[in-house]
Amino acid sequence: MNSHSISGVCVYIEWYSEAQKLERSKMGSGRHILAIPYPAQGHVIPMLELSLCLAKQGFEITFLNTEYNHRRVMGALAGTERVGDGNIHLVSLPDGMKPGEDRNDLGKLTNTMLQVMPMKLEELMNTIDGLGGRGITCVIADENLGWALEVAEKMRIRRVAFWPAAAALLAMQFRIPKLIEEKLIGSDGTLLKSEEIMLASSVPTTRTESLVWACVGDKETEKILFQVCSRNNKAIEAADWVICNTVYELEAEIFSIAPRILPIGPLLASNRLENSVGHFWPEDSTCLKWLDQQSPRSVIYVAFGSFTVLNNTQFQELASGLEVTGKPFLWVVRPDITEQNPNNVFPLGFQERVKSRGKIVGWAPQQRVLNHPSIACFLSHCGWNSTLESLSNGVPFLCWPYFADQFLNESYICDIWKVGLKLNKDEHGVIKRTEIKEKVEKLLGDDELKQRIQKLKKTVLKSAEKGGGSYKNLNNFINWLKS
Ligand code: UDP
């Protein structure tokens, strides 16, 4: 075996012999799970959260990242390869991309992963199998990685698909054969007819041109993504479970349309009374102290997740928008949120002018931020994790979606649950400072909206508490894993 190409495996062997000395008797056979997230921040965090829940139940977990993300997670964790009281071991495999290649190029990343990772995964699993008979007994893979479920099937290992986004999105993917049959799309996913698709009355409608694989902007990538979605649909048929980081009450009708999807969310660190892990950037916790000094429900929290990039004009308009609100704000400015270093893009003198009421960080401990009593609202890109985290804390939204499923989530927030407001673009496609100011004021003055989100917060939290729907589903799932 080439130690260079499968560095994670070698690390694993070293760890294993060390681990043998540790509490070997604690874990029975049949309790070693291989967890494989899709290589993106919004997928790694909830998969690791699920793994931490399982580790608490005594499962041993091997958590497999791509080498690139593994290095980032290790960097943010200050080097420790074990989390969850040592029961989770972080390992890695190469994704097939060269150093410096653009991993935000989804088409390319998908293709190279498909070329390299299934074979490496099989090798990794065989290596683990050879180690004292404590082989992997279950694979939990992100639904987007159908190939990992296929490898598990080939090796006759139990398998579970994990979906970290809205169940409605997966239900739409399940509908692909019907969309082809109805001639809305071709068999390669190309758009044949522009039409509004309604899965159920309490679920946002989706236009055929906004289907998740069809709105990336580059036709070649869209074709690749469509093929992968179709392949994943097949892989999932052979999965033992399809679990989803959502809450029954948020998307109730979806579970009768797609009964295979089991809601187990929200997967939050607060359920374990601990901090969230698996971040690609080190968290700047100084903002929590800063929040302590602000008045209750006064601060606008602004964050766009891990992927969003704003052009310079929009970034400057956002800065000016925050300035003209006159309110305190906490703004996450990721080092890569603009095409050049954001410090060179701020409007002239901005940081100086807002320093008494504006806090800017590179990456925030978001779950703890949203739980802070000083937060008034969340100006968000509407990633699914951010959506669940804000709902769970009763923080209303100002919606600024950017990509893929974020438009569906925005529609859930504003049109269905009615707990947030949309920010509209002007005729040049820019969200102007005046729009930001007006919507902040409108949102903070809307008492009915605030009451609705408080009610929804209770529903969401209740689901994860003892006796709640997600709690019961997760328990049933865990009992199956133990069987
Ligand atoms: N996040 C964080 N600190 C930040 C920004 C984001 O911890 O400063 C976390 C956030 O809590 C969420 C994840 O990163 O768990 C982002 O996932 P989401 O689905 O919201 O968006 P994505 O990054 O996938 O677009």
Ligand 1 geometric centre to CA of 386 (Å): 6
**Are both 207 and 72 inside the same structural domain?**
yes
Ligand 1 geometric centre to CA of 48 (Å): 13
Distance CA 243, CA 167 (A): 9
pLDDT interval class at 134 (50, 70, 90): low
The mean pLDDT of 186-214, rounded to a whole number, is 92
Residue of 49, 162, 382, 386 with the most ligand 1 atoms within 8 Å of its CB, for mutation = 386
Instruction: Give the residue from 339, 331, 326 showing the smallest Cα distance to 287.
Output: 331
Domain contains 450:
no
**Are both 128 and 91 inside the same structural domain?**
yes
Residue 481 gets which letter from DSSP? H
**Are both 198 and 346 inside the same structural domain?**
no
Which ligand 1 atom is at minimum distance from the Cα of 361?
8
| pLDDT value of position 107 | 85
The mean pLDDT of 416-445, rounded to a whole number, is 98
Domain contains 291:
yes
Q: Quick check: 15 and 42 in contact, CB under 8 A?
A: no
| pLDDT value of position 13 | 41
pLDDT interval class at 130 (50, 70, 90): low
Determine whether the shortest distance from the Cβ of 386 to ligand 1 is under 6 A.
yes
Determine whether the shortest distance from the Cβ of 52 to ligand 1 is under 6 A.
no
Q: Which of 185-194, 433-442, 454-463 comes out lowest in average pLDDT?
A: 185-194
Kind plus residue range of the DSSP H or E element containing 275? none
**Are both 325 and 254 inside the same structural domain?**
no
| pLDDT value of position 26 | 41
| pLDDT value of position 330 | 98
Domain contains 470:
yes
Domain contains 351:
yes
Does 172 have pLDDT greater than 70? yes
| pLDDT value of position 135 | 85
Instruction: Give the residue from 325, 330, 322 showing the smallest Cα distance to 362.
Output: 330
Distance CA 363, CA 107 (A): 27
**Are both 129 and 251 inside the same structural domain?**
yes
| pLDDT value of position 273 | 75
Does 354 have pLDDT greater than 80? yes
The mean pLDDT of 1-24, rounded to a whole number, is 40
Kind plus residue range of the DSSP H or E element containing 138? strand 138-142
**Are both 59 and 132 inside the same structural domain?**
yes
The mean pLDDT of 258-278, rounded to a whole number, is 90
Distance CA 301, CA 14 (A): 43
Residue of 307, 385, 399, 400 with the most ligand 1 atoms within 8 Å of its CB, for mutation = 385
What phi and psi values does residue 189 have, to the nearest 5 degrees?
95, -5
Residue of 308, 330, 363, 366 with the most ligand 1 atoms within 8 Å of its CB, for mutation = 366
- Per-chain mean pLDDT for the chain: 91
| pLDDT value of position 293 | 97
Domain contains 426:
yes
Determine whether the shortest distance from the Cβ of 307 to ligand 1 is under 6 A.
yes
Q: Quick check: 77 and 191 in contact, CB under 8 A?
A: no
| pLDDT value of position 1 | 29
Residue of 38, 45, 246, 275 with the most ligand 1 atoms within 8 Å of its CB, for mutation = 45
pLDDT interval class at 30 (50, 70, 90): low
Ligand 1 geometric centre to CA of 364 (Å): 9
What phi and psi values does residue 429 have, to the nearest 5 degrees?
80, 20
**Are both 314 and 415 inside the same structural domain?**
yes
Q: Quick check: 207 and 195 in contact, CB under 8 A?
A: yes
As for how many domains the chain has, the answer is 2
Determine whether the shortest distance from the Cβ of 383 to ligand 1 is under 6 A.
yes
Domain contains 452:
no
pLDDT interval class at 78 (50, 70, 90): confident
Residue 397 gets which letter from DSSP? E
Does 131 have pLDDT greater than 70? no
Domain contains 280:
no
**Are both 119 and 248 inside the same structural domain?**
yes
pTM above 0.85, yes or no: yes
Which pLDDT tens digit goes with each residue over 15-29? 444 444 344 334 444
What phi and psi values does residue 302 have, to the nearest 5 degrees?
-125, 120
The mean pLDDT of 315-325, rounded to a whole number, is 98
Distance CA 446, CA 51 (A): 39
Ligand 1 geometric centre to CA of 127 (Å): 33
Q: Domain of 290: which CATH number?
A: 3.40.50.2000
**Are both 223 and 150 inside the same structural domain?**
yes
| pLDDT value of position 83 | 84
Determine whether the shortest distance from the Cβ of 389 to ligand 1 is under 6 A.
yes
Distance CA 224, CA 222 (A): 5
**Are both 131 and 11 inside the same structural domain?**
yes
Ligand 1 geometric centre to CA of 380 (Å): 10
Straight-line distance from the first to the last Cα atom of the chain, in angstroms, rounded to the nearest whole number: 34
Residue 359 sits in which domain range?
A: 286-445
Which pLDDT tens digit goes with each residue over 455-482? 999 999 999 999 999 999 999 999 999 9
Q: Quick check: 166 and 246 in contact, CB under 8 A?
A: yes
Q: Quick check: 8 and 93 in contact, CB under 8 A?
A: yes
**Are both 251 and 214 inside the same structural domain?**
yes
CA distances in angstroms from 211 to 111, 235, 441, listed in the order given = 20, 20, 33
Determine whether the shortest distance from the Cβ of 303 to ligand 1 is under 6 A.
yes
**Are both 106 and 209 inside the same structural domain?**
yes
Domain contains 390:
yes
Instruction: Give the residue from 347, 262, 362 showing the smallest Cα distance to 312.
Output: 347
